[in-house]
Amino acid sequence: MSDLEPGSAAPAIELREAMRTARSLRRFRPDPVSDEVLARCLEAATWAPSGSNAQSWRFVVLRSPEVRAVLGPAFREGWDWVRTIYGQADERPAPDDDSREARLTRTMLHLVDNFESVPVYVLFCYRLTGFVPEFIEGGSIYPAMQNFLLAARAEGLGTVPSTWFTFAEEKLRAVVGIPDEWRIASLVSVGWPVGKHGPVRRRPLHKVAALDTWDNPLLNG
């Protein structure tokens, strides 16, 4: 089935196919994403499991110019930081470099350069209770986010999660009005993609799955 065009009804897509092809996409068309489509994706997020079924999550859809003014500079600062972590001395690949790394870098730079033009962002937040360590409390938000990503894939949307909002988190919290007891787990960029969804690239199962003991592969390579 072809990907959904803006304004069309949600297509049916087999679950494994959605998981297999829901790669991160960073180039978006300017077409708006409707509240109806977002509501379907966010409803899917609410179907996720959570500790004690507390559902201590909040999904904040962001479109305002005030938010964009905070996030654009934050993501450019994030890029300056992460490229040094990856050992990239040059900010941009050479024009004649057609390696996989260069192509990925160009898509990342397109998002960074045009972050204010992303059609919509969604913040995934969770509330602290203090009963268990913060890392464990946050574990309930990520299944909800994964449900959202898969539902968005079924709609034909492109998405990419990120934590680069942390480079301006206090400003973002102030603009959005996030209470102190809530934490931001991730920010997902959402839009109708330029290009196509495609198979994700992952390590083979025998390298990451074990049986009974750490070094005993579940499957032979």
Q: What is the pLDDT of residues 117-130, one digit of tens each?
A: 999 999 999 998 77
How far, in Å, CA of 107 to CA of 182, rounded?
32
Residue 160 pLDDT exceeds 70: yes
Q: Total structural domains in the chain?
A: 1
Give the domain CATH number at 173. Answer: 3.40.109.10
DSSP string, 79-104: HHHHHHHTT--SSS--TT--SHHHHH
* Residue 110 within any structural domain of the chain: yes
- pLDDT beyond 80 at 1: no
Q: Comparing 43 with 96, which gets the higher pLDDT?
A: 43
How far apart are alpha carbons 152 and 172 in whole angstroms? Answer: 24
pLDDT tens digits, 8-24: 456 679 999 999 999 99
pLDDT digits (tens, 9 = 90+) for 178-193: 999 999 999 999 999 9
pLDDT category at 3 given cuts 50, 70, 90 is very low
Sign of the torsion angle spanned by Cα atoms 141, 146, 152, 155: negative
Q: Is 5 within a domain?
A: no
What pLDDT is attached to residue 17?
94
Q: What pLDDT is stored for residue 195 in this prediction?
A: 86
Compare 164 and 97 and report the one with higher pLDDT.
Answer: 164
Range of the domain at 127: 15-196
Q: How far apart are CA 121 and CA 43, in angstroms?
A: 16
85 in any annotated domain: yes
Number of neighbouring beta carbons within 10 Å of residue 38: 20
Residue 43 lies in a domain: yes
What's the chain's average pLDDT? Answer: 89
- 144 assigned to some structural domain: yes
Look at residue 113 in the predicted model and tell me its pLDDT.
92
Helix (H) or strand (E) holding 137: helix 134-137
Q: Inform me whether the pLDDT recorded for 101 exceeds 70.
A: yes
pLDDT of residue 161: 97
Any domain includes 8? no
- Is there a domain that residue 84 lies in? yes
- The answer to the question of residue 182 being in a domain is yes
Report CA-CA distances (Å) from 203 to 100, 153, 208: 16, 22, 7
The band of 51, judged by pLDDT with boundaries at 50, 70 and 90, is confident
